[in-house]
Chains A and B, each alone.
Chain A
Amino acid sequence: KAGVTQTPRYLIKTRGQQVTLSCSPISGHRSVSWYQQTPGQGLQFLFEYFSETQRNKGNFPGRFSGRQFSNSRSEMNVSTLELGDSALYLCASSSSTDSYEQYFGPGTRLTVT
Chain B
Amino acid sequence: GNSVTQMEGPVTLSEEAFLTINCTYTATGYPSLFWYVQYPGEGLQLLLKATKADDKGSNKGFEATYRKETTSFHLEKGSVQVSDSAVYFCALDKAAGNKLTFGGGTRVLVKP
Interface pair A100/B49, CB less than 8 Å apart: yes
Give the number of residue pairs across the A-B interface with Cβ within 8 Å: 62
**A45 at interface (Cβ–Cβ under 8 A)?**
yes
**A56 at interface (Cβ–Cβ under 8 A)?**
yes
Of the listed residues B32, B93, B95, B104, the one surrounded by the most CB atoms of chain A closer than 10 A to its CB is B93
Mask, B2-44, CB within 8 Å of A = 1, is 0000000000000000000000000000001010100001111
Instruction: State the interface size on chain B (CB cutoff 8 A).
Output: 25
CA–CA, A99 and B104, complex, Å: 24
Interface pair B46/A101, CB less than 8 Å apart: yes
Q: A100-B93, A101-B49 are in contact. Are A94 and B44 (CB under 8 A)?
A: no
**A102 at interface (Cβ–Cβ under 8 A)?**
yes
**A87 at interface (Cβ–Cβ under 8 A)?**
no
**A21 at interface (Cβ–Cβ under 8 A)?**
no
What is the predominant secondary structure among interface residues of chain A facing chain B? Answer: strand
Select one of B36, B98, B104 contacting A31, CB under 8 A.
B98
Interface pair B99/A56, CB less than 8 Å apart: yes
Q: A100-B93, A101-B46 are in contact. Are A58 and B99 (CB under 8 A)?
A: yes
Select one of A33, A50, A55, A106 contacting B43, CB under 8 A.
A106
Report the 4 A-B pairs with minimum CB-CB distance, sorted nearest first: A98-B96, A104-B43, A43-B102, A104-B44
Known pairs A43-B89, A97-B97. 4 more at Cβ < 8 A? A56-B98, A90-B43, A92-B44, A106-B43
Binding site for B on A (CB under 8 A): 4, 31, 33, 35, 42-45, 48, 50, 55-56, 58, 90, 92, 94, 97-107
